[in-house]
Amino acid sequence: MRRFLVLLASVAACLGLSTLPVAATPSYCGLTWGSQEKSSAANGSGTVGNVRAGRHDCFDRLVVDIAGPATGYWVAYTDQVTQDGSGYPVPLRGGAFLRVTVNAPAYDHAGNSTYAPGQRTELVDVAGYQTFRQASWAGSFEGQSGLGLGVRARLPFRAFTVDGPGAGSRVVIDVAHYW
């Protein structure tokens, strides 16, 4: 009888352990972003004023400065980024390409440029970045501005808007260094 009880207790313990939830493998830096398209339908009235980039421990960041209220955006991986209006290809370095569309023109109501990059194919210096390979201007057409972002591989990313400084806002795109 004692052997039976020991056997029963062992089986119960094994069954109890087998029903415990299995801990998920943590993602890189705890990021859970994914690589599917991201968008926001916000409809601000600002204009593009600048594009800049920064490096962080777990991701590289691209920031589109907006002069005015936050605007909507659409960010997605694509086989090829094309110029707004003409459809011509935007050459990019990298193993994967993100198309960034910001619902803000790079010109004011009088048609004057609010953002005129010095080099359309090198908006920011990304030398030494872990994920970014190149950021290029795809143009501004019909109230929207486009950028191409060449990255090392198809990696998780997120996109969001931030108010400020002052009356301005920013569209932010973070791309993880790893999965």
Per-residue model confidence as pLDDT tens digits over 35-61: 999 999 987 789 999 999 999 999 999
Determine the pLDDT at residue 54: 98
pLDDT grade for 14, boundaries at 50, 70 and 90: low
Cβ–Cβ < 8 Å for 103, 73: yes
Domains of the chain listed by start with CATH number: 33-176 (2.60.40.3500)
Contact 114, 145 (CB under 8 A): no
Task: Classify residue 63 as left (phi > 0), alpha (psi -120 to 50) or beta.
Answer: beta
Comparing 2-16, 54-68, 94-108, which segment has the lowest mean pLDDT?
Answer: 2-16
In this structure, the dihedral spanned by the alpha carbons of residues 161, 116, 78 and 67, taken in order and rounded to 10 degrees, is: 10
Judge contact between 73 and 40, C-beta under 8 A: yes
Q: For residue 70, what pLDDT band results from cuts at 50, 70 and 90?
A: confident
Structure confidence by residue, pLDDT tens digits, 99-147: 999 999 999 999 999 999 999 999 999 999 999 999 999 999 999 999 9
For 82, 87, 173, the CA distances from 158, given in Å and listed in that order, are 21, 26, 6
pLDDT surpassing 80 at residue 1: no
